[in-house]
């Protein structure tokens, strides 16, 4: 099984290092020196990691054969792909690989069908499930503990507890301004006696 583990960013310095956007929860395993990664596009690889280090909260890698800034810039936006055994599981019990979550049925706690996970979007702040609804529309579900109540890989389902308005248009609107308007309405129609 193939997993995208990083995207190469811009060159760093003049000695062939590049920044990478990490797309794995296990960078120490997948992006360590000596790792050989396939690439997308395939014509750019395979690439062998020569060195890796963290600088200003960014992972910097240098690949074998890339010795200068020009070579590093030529790698920009290339995806790095690792081969992973499909039976392999993440080290943490509540972590999942994307391939495990794809095509899971998404349901509410009462069993109401929401849809099926068709894509997982990895954003800086959180991951999102892109869920295709039965009518063909899509809804985005944040992959956070407060919303995703259960992942059951054996049953191939994801149970969610969405807040009002996340998967439907019945949002509950509550603001202090609305409460003040309601309270003031009772005062304005006062008695003129």
Kind and range of the H or E run holding 149: strand 148-152
Calculate mean pLDDT across residues 39-62. 89
Residues in the chain, overall count: 193
Calculate mean pLDDT across residues 124-144. 88
List the one residue out of 150, 104, 154, 147 whose CA is nearest residue 127: 147
Percent pLDDT > 70 in the chain is 82
Question: Does the pLDDT value for residue 126 go beyond 50?
Answer: yes
49 Cβ neighbours under 8 A, 6+ residues apart: 31, 32, 33, 34, 35, 36, 37, 61, 62, 63, 64
Question: Does the pLDDT value for residue 11 go beyond 50?
Answer: yes
Beta bridge mates, 130: 119, 140
Percent pLDDT > 90 in the chain is 41
2 Cβ neighbours under 8 A, 6+ residues apart: 38, 81, 82, 83, 84
Give the other-Cβ count within 10 Å of 12's Cβ.
Answer: 19
Q: What is the CA radius of gyration of the chain?
A: 24
Kindly indicate the confidence band of residue 193, based on its pLDDT and cuts at 50, 70 and 90.
Answer: very low
Question: Does the pLDDT value for residue 122 go beyond 80?
Answer: no
């Amino acid at each position: 099984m193939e997993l995208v583990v990083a995207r190469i960013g811009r060159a760093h310095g003049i000695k062939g290092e590049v920044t990478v956007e990490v797309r794995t929860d296990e960078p120490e395993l997948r992006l360590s020196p000596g790792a050989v990664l396939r690439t997308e596009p395939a014509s750019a690889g395979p690439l062998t990691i020569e060195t890796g280090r963290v600088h200003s909260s960014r992972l910097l890698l240098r690949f074998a054969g890339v010795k200068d800034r020009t070579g590093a810039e030529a790698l920009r936006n290339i995806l790095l792909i690792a081969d992973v055994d499909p039976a392999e599981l993440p080290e943490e019990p509540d972590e999942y690989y994307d391939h495990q979550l794809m095509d899971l049925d998404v349901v509410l706690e009462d069993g109401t069908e929401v849809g099926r996970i068709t894509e997982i979007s990895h954003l800086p702040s959180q991951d999102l499930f892109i869920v295709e609804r039965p009518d063909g529309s899509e809804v985005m579900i944040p992959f956070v503990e407060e919303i995703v109540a259960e992942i059951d890989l054996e049953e191939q389902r994801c149970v969610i507890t969405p807040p009002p308005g996340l998967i439907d248009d019945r949002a509950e609107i509550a603001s202090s301004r609305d409460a003040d308007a309601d309270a003031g309405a009772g005062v304005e129609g006062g008695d003129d006696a």
